[in-house]
Amino acid sequence: MEILKQLREEGRAEDMQALVDHIPYAKFMGIRVDRKGNEITMVLPFKEMLIGNPVLPALHGGAIGTFLELTSVIQLMYNTQCERLPKTVDISIDYLRSGRPVETYGRAFVTRQGRRVANVRAEIWQEEINKPIAASHGHFLLTPV
């Protein structure tokens, strides 16, 4: 991926915000990266367009799924400094609570990283980190540098 090569050349291989800004769909959703040391928290600010059920109201399951997948991929990119974006092989999403119309946060954990495939878990929450609204685990295909 061009942007990854460029970031590495500029010594900004860890700049995950620059990477997210280069993914049109992530940018469209307004996803931000909050990095403190080597800890990454993804942030999904609330927007009306993220709504799936206007009556409750609740976030769309697809917006939640996208956020979990991106949280996983960005954590994986940060850990592995791959040359290309990992490809999602599969992802399993558990919806735990309905998403309220507020800011959402996400964190991922690389459970196992093999040479070609990585297993990644992710959790997202809103006001309380101990009350996740959704969790996922997935397999991602890596392209080692």
List residues binding other proteins (CB under 8 A). Answer: 1-3, 22-26, 28-29, 48-57, 59-63, 65-67, 69-70, 85, 87-95, 98
Which residues have a Cβ under 8 Å from the Cβ of 76 and sit 6 or more positions away?
Answer: 82, 86, 108, 110, 113, 118, 120, 140, 142
Taking the complex as a whole, the smallest distance from the CB of residue 132 to other proteins amounts, in Å, to: 14
The residue written with tokens 């990266």 in the block is: 33
Cβ-based nearer residue to other proteins, 37 or 56: 56
Cβ-based nearer residue to other proteins, 87 or 112: 87
Do 122 and 106 touch, CB atoms closer than 8 A?
yes
- The Cα 51–Cα 45 span in angstroms is 12
Taking the complex as a whole, the smallest distance from the CB of residue 129 to other proteins amounts, in Å, to: 21
Cβ-based nearer residue to other proteins, 30 or 37: 30
